[in-house]
Chain A
Amino acid sequence: MSESRAPTPDPGAETPAEGLVLQRLREQFGDALRDVKIWRHETTILLAPQDLVRVCRFLRDASDLAFDFLSSVVGVDRLHLPDNSPRFEVVYHLYSIQFKRRLRLKVRVDEGDAVPSVTGVWESANWHEREIFDLFGVPVEGHPDLRRILMPDDWEGHPLRKDYPVEASPKWWAEEPA
Chain B
Amino acid sequence: MTTERTMTLNMGPQHPSTHGVLRLVLELDGEVVVRCEPHIGYLHTGIEKGLESKRYQQGIPLTDRLDYLAPLSNNLAYVLAIEKALGIEVPDRAQTIRVLMTELTRIKSHLVWLGTHALDIGAMSVFLYCFREREQVLDMYEAVSGQRMMSSYFRVGGLMADLPAGFEAQVEAFLAAFPSRLEEYEALLTENPLWRQRTVGIGSIRAADAIVLGVSGPALRACGVAYDVRRANPYCGYERYQFDVPVGKVGDVYERYTIRMAEMRQSHRIAGQALQRLAPGPINVADPKLIPPPRKLLKTSMEALIHHFKLYSEGFSVPAGEVYQAIESPKGELGVYLVSDGTNRPYRVHYRAPSFVNLQALPRMVEGRLVADVIAVIGSLDIVLGEIDR
Contact = CB atoms under 8 A, between A and B. Distances in A.
Contacts of B88: 5, 7
Contact of A150 (B44, B287, B350): B44
A81 B342 CA distance: 10
B257 interface: no
Contacts of B287: 5
Contacts of A126: 360
A11 B360 contact: no
Contacts of B50: 166
Contacts of A122: 212, 214
A8 B87 contact: yes
A29 interface: no
A70 B360 CA distance: 13
Interface residues of B, number: 50
A3 B52 CA distance: 30
A1 B225 CA distance: 29
B229 to A, nearest CB: 9
Interface string A72-94: 10101100110000000001010
Number of chain A interface residues as a range: 35 or more
A97 B225 CA distance: 9
A71 B333 contact: yes
B339 A71 contact: no
Interface string B325-353: 01000000101010101000001101010
A80 to B, nearest CB: 7
A122 B348 CA distance: 24
B352 A40 contact: no
A42 B323 contact: yes
Interface-centre pick from B41, B88, B286, B333 (highest chain A CB count, 10 A)? B41
Nearest to B240: A1
B157 to A, nearest CB: 8
A84 B203 CA distance: 46
Contact of B87 (A3, A40, A44): A40
Contact of A11 (B87, B227, B237, B390): B87
Contacts of B337: 72, 74, 91, 93
Given A80-B341, A97-B211, A124-B357, A5 B285 contact: yes
Interface in B32-56: 40-41, 44, 46, 48-50, 52-53
Contacts of A3: 89, 91-92, 281
Given A69-B214, A123-B212, A160-B49, A42 B225 contact: no
A91 B87 CA distance: 22
A35 to B, nearest CB: 13
Contacts of A166: 49-50, 52-53
Contacts, number: 111
Interface in A25-50: 39-40, 42, 44
Contacts of A68: 211-212
B141 interface: no
B214 A160 contact: no
B2 interface: no
Nearest to A72: B352
A124 B285 CA distance: 39
A164 B390 CA distance: 17
A68 B210 CA distance: 11
B89 A2 contact: yes
A104 interface: yes
Contacts of B324: 42, 71, 93, 102, 104
A150 B21 CA distance: 12
Nearest to B236: A1
A55 interface: no
A124 B213 contact: yes
Nearest to B348: A76
B321 A150 contact: no
B233 interface: yes
A170 interface: no
A171 interface: no
A90 to B, nearest CB: 11
28 contacts: A5-B89, A39-B321, A40-B87, A42-B324, A68-B212, A71-B214, A71-B352, A72-B335, A72-B337, A74-B337, A74-B348, A76-B347, A80-B341, A80-B347, A93-B324, A97-B211, A97-B227, A97-B232, A100-B233, A123-B213, A124-B357, A127-B356, A149-B41, A150-B40, A151-B44, A159-B49, A160-B48, A160-B49
The 4 closest A-B pairs by CB, nearest first: A124-B214, A72-B352, A150-B41, A7-B87
